[in-house]
Structure formats: structure tokens, C-alpha cells
Structure 1
Amino acid sequence: MVRPFPRPGPSLRLAYRELQLASDGDNVARRELGDLTRLPRPWIPTSLRRPQQRLELWSWLEAAAIWINHELVFDPADAIPACWPEHAHLVHELAVLVDQRYRCELALNSSPLEEWHRYALPAFLDRMRHRVGTHCEDGHAGRWPAAARFRTHLDDAHSTQRAAAFNDEAEALQGSISDTPSSPRRLRLIDEETGEIT
């Protein structure tokens, strides 16, 4: 009747274990993990620097997309498209959604799962429907609908215009800081018995 939510592979489970130690472990455990800012975070695909972890993530996200489409989608407009890996925004958002759903599996009560069903999943599906629309149904004939606007954003004229605006704003800010007279510091006394400031 229902299928279980897909489990991540062994190297991803290790990443989750290390993150748990970084969050809840003692100082010794944290030191043994090394630089905590470099720990892989499965909800941020680019943080997975080892090829095996990245491959496990792709397999897990694919299994989760299939699971979501089978278990939770009735209206075809809500189905995660088969071409989801071709859409960076879906890759980023699906990784977060799957991470949150996995954490629901680890919870000791149903509250996180209720919130996932009530908030995370519908919000993801709404954003996906809005961003993808019917563009995937035509087989990506035009590839990326926003390609022209993106090229315009990166062209020399617009890049130069933005850089000038950024510099103008920074110079104006610098001018306002140097125009502000520095106020002398006021020394205050604190009565140690009453705590009164004079």
C-alpha cells in the first residue's frame, strides 16, 4: 500500500553522523572532526567533495523524487519532472526537501513529519510548479527560458553599470562616515554597591 522513504547511502549516513557529533558531541569529538565548516552537508550538494558521496546523493535524490511522485502526488502538475537534474533550482531545493524528510525519519515523534507535510512539501511543489510551468513538457525545445535574460545580466554593459552603481554607493557611504563628527566619549561611573550609573 505504501513504500518506505528511501535511505541515504553509507557515506551520506556517515556525513549525517559527523554532523550530529558536530552539533551534539563533546569538544573531543568536535576536535576529531577537524574543520567543522568543511563537513559535508547533504542538503548542499556542492559541499559533497568526494565523488562517492556525490554519486550517493544523486541516487538518493532520484529515489526520493520517484518516492514523492508515487506516494504524495495525485495531480500531474505536482509531479517532479524526470528532467529535474537539468534544473539547478530543483536540484538545490530537492536536496533540502529530502534532507528535511530524512530528519523526520529520525524524529521520536510525528511533529516534524506533520510540519514537513503541511509546510515544506506544499511550498516546494508550489515553487516548482511556478518555476517550471509547462517548459519541461515540450522536451526543453528552447532549453532554458531565462537564458536570454541571464546573458543580458552578464554582458559587459550591464556588468559595468552594476559595478559603477556599487562603487557609487560605497563612496557615498564612505563620505557619510567621514562627514560625521566624532563625538567625544563620555566616561561614566558605576556605583558598585547600588549599580547606579552617573
Structure 2
Amino acid sequence: MNTDAAREPLVASMVRPFPEGGSMVRLAYRELSIAANGDKDQVKALGPLHMLPRPWDPPTCRRPELREQLWEWLEEVVSWLNREYTWDVAGAIPPCWPQHPHLMHEIAVLADQRRRAGLAFDSNAMEEWHRYALPAFADRMRNRLKDHCEDGHQGWPGRGRYARFTSDQTVHERQETYAADVRTTALGRKIEHKVEQESRPRLASVNLDTGELGDVPDGPQPE
């Protein structure tokens, strides 16, 4: 029998497992699990909970080592999605996805939800991911990208409009609108307070000898 490995056919797995992520990514998820399910001492040892990194929200991953592993994990996830769930090219995530902030945000959430579904003890979460999360992501991606990056990455089509949005003039106009709303709200509160004061019932005193009514001296009024 010939055992020459070079002459044996390569057997590829029919389906590939979902990427797990590096040690720092797994540690981040472990800390989040402790925050949600640990005892009082374990939770206290984590420090401020609002500072814990959330891999589904990349900006919260502030440590460089974790940030590096997060991008490596998401790169593996994108490759996995393009192989396991893409048949027509229209559904493929483009290779320039790291140059699209909207894709980076959404892929991180999609990866997190797929990871959670894979850890469940039944198939309900996986069915939800297949039925809602993945198709919704694909639809939003196609709607935003259209055909801009089919033959390579293209510059941001909305750059000019965003520049106008952040210009000094439009920022000033929005701030003036906000300030006008605050002034209107403050005036409305003053009017409400005045009406409330005028509509409060006033107490009267009764002279037990004569039966005459008189005003109660100024002071706290009943609510």
C-alpha cells in the first residue's frame, strides 16, 4: 500500500467550525460572564464594570493586545462567513471591509451573536441568528455598499456631505436650534409653575366667636 502523503487526496471538511478568537478575546468574554453570573467577590475583583471590554463594540477594547486579537478574530469570522454562507457574489463581504466603519461595527455584533448561539444548549438562538441576524446584516450591507467596491475599494461617497455636516456654519446652526429649544422649554416651565401657584386652593380661617372668615397668613400651602 502506497502511503505517500503527497499522492493521497486532500480531504476537506464539509463545514468549518466557527472561529473561537485568541486568548485575549476569550478572556474578555470570561470576564463578562463573571460580571453577569459571578459572586460578589468575583465581580468586585473585575474593577469598574463599565470599563470591561465588549468584543461586540470594538472601541471598548482599549488594550492593544486585545484590539489586535479582536481584528484577527473578525478577519477569521469574515473569511468563515464568506465560505460557509456565501454562494452568490452579491452576498460576499468585500475584502476592504476594515475600511468601512459600518461593516466593522456590524460584523463585531454578528460575530458575537453567532458565538453566543453556538454556546447555547438548544438550537433556538442559532435559528434566530440564521433567520434574522445574518439576513438582516446582508441586506444592510448590500444597501449601504451597493456596487461601490465590486472592483476594489472606492473612496467614501458621502465624504462631501459629512464635511458639510461638520462645517462651522452647520454646527453653529444646529447649536442655535438646540439653544432655542432650551429657552422655549425654560419659558414653558415658568408658565406652568405660575399657573400651578395660582390654581392652588387657599385656606381660610374662621373666627369661632363671630363666624367671620379671614385669610390664613402667608406660608406653605397644601399640595
TM-score (norm 1): 0.90
Structure 2 counterpart of 1:48: 61
- Structure 1 spans left out of the alignment, 5+ residues: 188-198
| Aligned length in residues | 186
Kindly provide the CA deviation profile for residues 158-181 of structure 1, in whole angstroms up to 9, marking residues without a partner as x.
111111001101111111111113
Does the CA-based 8 Å contact 2:20-2:73 persist in structure 1? yes
Q: Which has the larger radius of gyration?
A: 2
- Hey, what's the Cα distance between the residues in 2 that align with 1:122 and 1:16? 25
- Structure 2 spans left out of the alignment, 5+ residues: 1-13, 201-220
Matched, 1:13 2:12: no
Shift of 1:18: 0.6
Name the Cα RMSD after superposition: 1.3
Alignment of 1:93-172 (within 5 A): 93-141=106-154, 143-172=155-184
Shift of 1:139: 2.6
Q: Which amino acid aligns with 2:167?
A: D
Residue aligned with 2:149, SS: helix
- Hey, what's the Cα distance between the residues in 1 that align with 2:146 and 2:114? 25
Q: Which has the higher contact order (CA 8 A, sep 6+)?
A: 1
**Structure 1 residue runs of 4+, over 6 Å off?**
none
- Hey, what's the Cα distance between the residues in 2 that align with 1:114 and 1:186? 59
Q: CA 1:176–1:108 in structure 2 vs 1: closer, same or farther (change >3 Å)?
A: same
Shift of 1:45: 0.4
Kindly provide the CA deviation profile for residues 49-103 of structure 1, in whole angstroms up to 9, marking residues without a partner as x.
1111001110110100010010011121110010000000000000000011011
- Hey, what's the Cα distance between the residues in 2 that align with 1:179 and 1:171? 13
- Hey, what's the Cα distance between the residues in 1 that align with 2:100 and 2:185? 39
- Hey, what's the Cα distance between the residues in 1 that align with 2:30 and 2:68? 18
Of 32, 39, 45, the match for 1:32:
45
- Hey, what's the Cα distance between the residues in 1 that align with 2:137 and 2:47? 34
Does the CA-based 8 Å contact 2:96-2:153 persist in structure 1? no
Matched, 1:179 2:207: no
Residue aligned with 1:136, SS: coil
- Hey, what's the Cα distance between the residues in 1 that align with 2:191 and 2:18? 61
Kindly provide the CA deviation profile for residues 134-171 of structure 1, in whole angstroms up to 9, marking residues without a partner as x.
11124334x10000100010111111111100110111
- Hey, what's the Cα distance between the residues in 1 that align with 2:124 and 2:93? 25
- Hey, what's the Cα distance between the residues in 1 that align with 2:31 and 2:222? 49
Q: Which amino acid aligns with 1:11?
A: M
Q: Which amino acid aligns with 1:180?
A: E
Q: CA 1:110–1:186 in structure 2 vs 1: closer, same or farther (change >3 Å)?
A: farther
Residue aligned with 1:163, SS: helix
TM-score (norm 2): 0.80
Does the CA-based 8 Å contact 2:78-2:93 persist in structure 1? yes
Residue aligned with 1:135, SS: coil
Structure 2 counterpart of 1:195: none
